[in-house]
Amino acid sequence: MEELKVKMKEMKLEIETLKIELNKIEKLKIKRNYYQENKEDIKRKAQEYKKKNREVIQEQRKEEINCECGCLVTKQHLTRHLVTMKHTKRMNNVK
Ligand SMILES: [Zn+2]
């Protein structure tokens, strides 16, 4: 009799574990379904996000800053400006 009780307990535990597993699978299915059903929407949102960010990055690049030589250059051109003759000459004059 005692053995049977133990077996019953084990079975119950197994069923519980199975239920949890099933629950996980269901949740995954729901997630997948959500993606499938909203694929276009999700893609569109991601593209919009990228586009917005690109605009912000471009705006930042357009921003003008004062180079240490005294020139006013855009951030976009700063790295290029740093190797120009104009910058080098001006820097020599400063020193
Ligand atoms: Zn400069």
pLDDT, the chain, mean: 90
**d(CA 87, ligand 1 centre) in Å:** 4
Chain segment 46-88, per-residue pLDDT in tens: 999 889 888 888 888 889 999 999 999 998 899 999 999 999 9
CA 59 – ligand 1 centroid, Å: 21
Averaged over 7-12, what is the pLDDT?
91
CA-to-CA dists, residue 29 to 16, 17, 40, 42, 77, angstroms: 20, 18, 18, 17, 50
Q: Where are the beta strands (DSSP E) in 1-95?
A: 64-66, 72-74
Q: How far is the CA of 44 from the centre of ligand 1 (A)?
A: 42
Distance 62 CA to ligand 1 centre (A): 16
Q: What is the mean pLDDT of residues 86-94?
A: 89
Which pLDDT value is given to residue 11? 92
Q: Could you give the CA distance from residue 83 to residue 9 in angstroms, rounded to a whole number?
A: 78
Q: Give residue 70 CA to ligand 1 midpoint distance, Å.
A: 6
Query: For the residues 3-7, what does the mean pLDDT come to?
Result: 89
How does pLDDT run across 15-49, given as a tens digit for each residue? Answer: 999 999 999 999 998 889 988 999 999 999 999 98
Q: What is the pTM of this model?
A: 0.41
CA of 73 relative to ligand 1 center, distance in Å: 8
